[in-house]
Amino acid sequence: MFAQFFMLAALIAVAGIAYWRWSRRTNAEIAEGALYEWERLSRTECDLIEGLSEERFRAVYRRTHFPRFPKYAIAIAAAFVVSLPLTLGALAGIAWTLDTIGLSANAQAIARSVPIEGSIAGVSRDDGETIALYYVQDVVKFYYYFGLLFAWLGIIYFAMRRFHKNRPGYLRDELMKEKAKG
């Protein structure tokens, strides 16, 4: 289990390095585009950029044109990997607590309540408890599966909520907001 966890962490690190290299190239292209747009707006729409320095214009241009999703995708993947041991630990703690206070499934009680006599497979009563134990283990795996699923859906919910909340508008709108700041 530790090997898979560290392999996932290494893949996230490789993706982070690839993102860093890609963002440097993208930033260079965006800076070049900002220069051309600054020159164009200086000639044609002076009132739009009036009161803004070229550095502030470049920051606004970068904010509106830089792709944000790759960063969020890597952050979500990293949060998945980091949350995996935490979620599994929390679920194990919940299962242990439920077992301690007597709220978990009892394999012997299930074996006594499940009628096996009319079974086609010819299972004896002695094997019923073993079968019930396997059933209870499968039920616990079911809760682990959905526990991880809900934890990951929570991560996606918060990340996408932040993604859409911080979404920049069009360049013209963002320039107006920047000018309003002073």
Ranges of each domain in the chain: 1-67+168-182, 69-166
How far from 62 is each of 38, 59, 84, 110, 165, CA to CA, in Å?
A: 12, 5, 34, 63, 18
Contact 31, 59 (CB under 8 A): no
Residues 68-75: what's their mean pLDDT?
Answer: 96
Contact 97, 66 (CB under 8 A): no
Q: Residue written as tokens 């911080």?
A: 166
Residues 67-74: what's their mean pLDDT?
Answer: 96
Give the least confident one: 34-43, 124-133, 151-160, 173-182: 124-133
Q: What is the pTM of this model?
A: 0.77
**Residue 115: its pLDDT value, please?**
59
Residue 160 scores a pLDDT above 90: yes
**Residue 106: its pLDDT value, please?**
66
What average pLDDT does the structure give for the chain?
Answer: 87
Cα distance from N-terminal residue to C-terminal residue, the chain: 54
Continuous segment of H or E residues that includes residue 124 = none
Share of the chain above pLDDT 90, in %: 61
The more confidently predicted of residues 82 and 133 is 82
**Residue 104: its pLDDT value, please?**
72
Integer Cα distance of 114 and 104 in angstroms? 17
